[in-house]
Structure 1
C-alpha cells in the first residue's frame, strides 16, 4: 500500500517546486515508509511513498513504460495482474519488473481509458501520458482506496491519497463547504464527491477523470456500477457451492504477498469466514489479530478465540481499556476532515496490533452490505410492508402528526420507540432509510444550526445524497435499494475511510475479499430470500458456513465495534465535552446555536437523554476546527 501525490499545470508547462511536491508527499509518509520516488518534467510533478508488498526489489514508483512516455503512481493492488501479463506480452509489451504496477502502464497503452475495466482490485492511480499530453486518474469500483483532488486558483491541479496532501499546498481554498457540514452532521462524514473544503473533492468510486492541458477540468466518468437484478435462477444448494468457490478464489488472490500476511478476527461471521477460508488455502497457520475490551458489554473476544482454536491460528490478542479515549486528538489529525464513527478507536488499535506481526491483513469488511447483514435492513423491510399497506397521501399526514406528538424514548429498544416508527412511516422508502441511519436527524439539525448557517444551506438537506444515488440504483426493490445506497455511501464514506486511515497510520495494508467486485455483482443477482429469511440476515452465507464455523459464531446477535460514549460523556469526558462544545472556535464558526449545544450537554449529563452520538459528532467537529482551516502562509512563493 502506498501514498500518491502530484501536480499538473492545466494551462502551460511551468516547473513545479521540488520542495513543495516533496512536502506534499512527505505529509503522508506513514502510507509508504519504505521508499519515496518523484518524477518532474515541465507542467507535471508526480510523487510516491511506497509500502513494499510485491516485487520488493524492482517495484519502485513512479514507474514507466518502455520508452518513458507513460508514467504512473499507484496506491493499491491489482489482484489479477498475473493473468494480464501474458495477454499484454502477446500484444508486444515488454515487462521489466514483476510488480502489478507495471501492468497499469501497459494496459493503458493497449486499452486506453478502458484499462480500468480489466483490473480486479483496490486502487487509486494517476497516469501521465506525455505523447497525449494527458493526466488520467482512476479509483477502484467500491472506493477501497481514496483519491482527493483540487483545481487550484493558480491554474494547477493537485491530487493525493489523503486530504492533507492538498492541505500542504498554499493555493488550496480551505473555506468550509456548508453542504459538507450538513452531510457530516447527518451521516458522520462528507459524502463523495464532496470534502469539508469548497476547494477540494474526492474522486467517486468506479470513476475516472481525464485532464488535458488547455481544457477545462471535466466531470468524472463512471466505468462501473452494480445492478441488483435479483433474477438468478440458481438453486439454494448450488448457490452455497458457488459462494464457497467464489470466496476461496477472492481470498486466494488476496493472499499473494512477499511480506508477512494475516487477518483481523473479531469473532463475527465475516472475519471468521475469511479466516476459515485462509486456513483452507494455507499450509502454515494463519496469523490472526483480535482486540478484547475490559468491559464485558463490548467484548466478543471469546468468539474470536473459538475460531482461532478451531483453525489453530497464530492468534494475537490485546485488551483495550474501556476508557481508551486518548486517541481523540490523534483521530482528528488522522482523518483530516470531520469524521464521526467512534469505532475508529478500536479499529486504530487492532491495526496497531496487527502491524506488530504482519504487513498485510485481510478483513471481513463489506459483508453486511452485500449479504444483507445489518439489523436495520430487517427493520426497514418491516416498516416498508406497513408503508406499502397505506397510500402515501394517507401515511404522511397521519403518521407525521403522530411522530410529532409522540414522546421521545431514546432509552427503549428501537422496536418500542413508536415516535421513530411513526416518523419512518410518514416518509417514502429512501427518506425513511436516510432518517434511520442519520446520526443527527433533521429536526435536531435544524435546531443545532444557527439561522445564519441555515440561510447558507439554502434548503439543502443531506437526504439529497441518497436521492441522487437512488435515482441511479436501477431498482425500487426495498432491500436492493438500501443495499445499493449503503454500497455508495456508508461503505465508502464510513467503513472504507475508517479502515484506510487507521491501517495506513500504521503502514499496514488491509485487503477486503468480500468487496471483490465479481463477488459483489454475483450476490446482487441473487433473490432477496437468500440474503434475509424471516429475522435471519446473511442467510445464504451462514448456511454455507455451517460445516466450518460454530453455531455460536454464526447465529449470535451482532455486536459491532462499539465504545461506551454515553458513559464517557457523563464520567471521564464530562468536562472535556462541555468545554469543547462551548469553546470559542465553535462560537466563532457561526454554524451553531450555542444555547442548543449547551442544552444537549446538560440533558445528556443529567441522564434525561442519550445524546452520546450527537455529542461525539460535535466534539470531532470541534477538534477539526481547533486544528485550523485557514490556508498557511507561503513565504517562499512556491508554485
Structure 2
C-alpha cells in the first residue's frame, strides 16, 4: 500500500491506529467488560450487556477461540502443549494480556504497551521505506485524554462497540457505514500459506538444528508436534491459531539471521 501511495504521489496518509484501543472497538473489550461486571457482582448487568450484543448481531458472531484464547482466564482455555525451551520456562516468561482490574486500565496498557506501540512501529517502518508520512488523528493526545477516561457504557452500549463515536459520526456518514456490524481488516493468507506453499519450507526448517533451541528458547520437537496438529485441524476451525505457529518460526528465523551476535 505504501509503495502504491508513492507511485500515486500521495505524500501524507491518515491512519486509524488507536481508534479501537480508545473506543473499545476490539472484540476482546466486550469480554473484558463482562468480566469486570461479573467480578464486581453486577451479574444482571453482565447478562443484559451479553444479550444486547446477541440481539444486535455484532462482535459475538465473529468470536474465534483461536484469536480470543490469549485474553481468556486460564480456567476457560483448553490445555495446549508448551513449546518454550528451558530458558523461557525457568524464567516463567508468560506475559498476562487479559484483564487485570478495570477495562479502562486495560485500554491504557494497549495504548502504552501491548497494541499501539507495535502497530505504529511497523506502520512507520513501512511508510518510511517508501518516503511516505503517516499521521494518527485518533492518537492525538487531546482526543485520547478525553475518550479513554469515559465510562465504558459510552463505548459499549446497545450491542455496539465504539458507540459514542458512531453516534457522533451518524449525521455525517451513511447508516451502513456508521452502524456497520462486522469488523473487517486487511487479511493476509498466512493460514493458507503455512498449509500449502510454505509447508515444504517449514518441514526443511524442522529437519535441521535450531539456533533458538540451542539458546533454550524453543523446544523444536514439541513445536513439530504442534505444527502437525495444526495441519490436521480444519482450516477454519480448531484450537491452534496462526500466532501459535508463526511466532516460534519467526523467532527461529530471527535467531538464524543474528546467530553470530547471539553466540558472543
Q: Same fold (TM over 0.5)?
A: yes
Mapped to 1, the partners of 2:208 and 2:177 lie a distance apart of 45
- Determine whether 1:519 maps to 2:143: yes
Residue 577 of structure 1 contacts residue 601 of structure 1 at CA under 8 Å; is this kept in 2?
A: no
Q: Secondary structure at the match of 1:510?
A: strand
- 1:602 paired residue number: 228
Mapped to 2, the partners of 1:529 and 1:497 lie a distance apart of 31
Mapped to 2, the partners of 1:416 and 1:511 lie a distance apart of 33
Distance 1:576 1:489, change over 3 A: same
Matches within 5 A, 1:459-470: 459-463=92-96
Mapped to 1, the partners of 2:209 and 2:109 lie a distance apart of 37
- Determine whether 1:451 maps to 2:77: no
Residue 570 of structure 1 contacts residue 605 of structure 1 at CA under 8 Å; is this kept in 2?
A: yes
Matches within 5 A, 1:55-204: none
- 1:351 paired residue number: 2
Residue 370 of structure 1 contacts residue 524 of structure 1 at CA under 8 Å; is this kept in 2?
A: yes
- 2:19 paired residue number: 367
**For this pair of structures, how many residues does the alignment match?**
236
- 1:569 paired residue number: 194
Distance 1:524 1:451, change over 3 A: closer
Mapped to 1, the partners of 2:220 and 2:33 lie a distance apart of 38
- 1:480 paired residue number: 104
Counting strand residues as a fraction of each chain, which structure ranks higher? Answer: 1
Mapped to 1, the partners of 2:206 and 2:176 lie a distance apart of 42
Residue 73 of structure 2 contacts residue 98 of structure 2 at CA under 8 Å; is this kept in 1?
A: no
Mapped to 1, the partners of 2:107 and 2:87 lie a distance apart of 36
Structure 2: which 5+ residue stretches go unaligned? 43-60
Structure 1: which 5+ residue stretches go unaligned? 1-349, 391-411, 428-434, 436-440, 471-475, 633-639
Q: By how many angstroms is 1:374 displaced?
A: 1.1
Mapped to 2, the partners of 1:420 and 1:628 lie a distance apart of 31
- 1:636 paired residue number: none
Mapped to 1, the partners of 2:64 and 2:223 lie a distance apart of 28
- 1:622 paired residue number: 252
- 1:316 paired residue number: none
Q: By how many angstroms is 1:448 displaced?
A: 0.7
Distance 1:510 1:594, change over 3 A: same
Rg comparison, structure with higher value: 1
Listed one character per residue, the Cα deviations across residues 226-255 of structure 1 (whole Å, up to 9, x for unaligned) are xxxxxxxxxxxxxxxxxxxxxxxxxxxxxx
Mapped to 2, the partners of 1:413 and 1:599 lie a distance apart of 29
Mapped to 1, the partners of 2:116 and 2:224 lie a distance apart of 33
- 2:176 paired residue number: 552
Q: Secondary structure at the match of 2:13?
A: strand
- Determine whether 1:494 maps to 2:146: no
TM-score when normalising by structure 1: 0.34
* Bigger relative contact order, structure 1 or 2 (CA pairs below 8 A, ≥6 apart): 2
Counting helix residues as a fraction of each chain, which structure ranks higher? Answer: 2
Q: By how many angstroms is 1:360 displaced?
A: 1.7
Distance 1:413 1:523, change over 3 A: closer
Q: By how many angstroms is 1:614 displaced?
A: 1.4
Residue 85 of structure 2 contacts residue 217 of structure 2 at CA under 8 Å; is this kept in 1?
A: yes
Mapped to 1, the partners of 2:258 and 2:125 lie a distance apart of 20
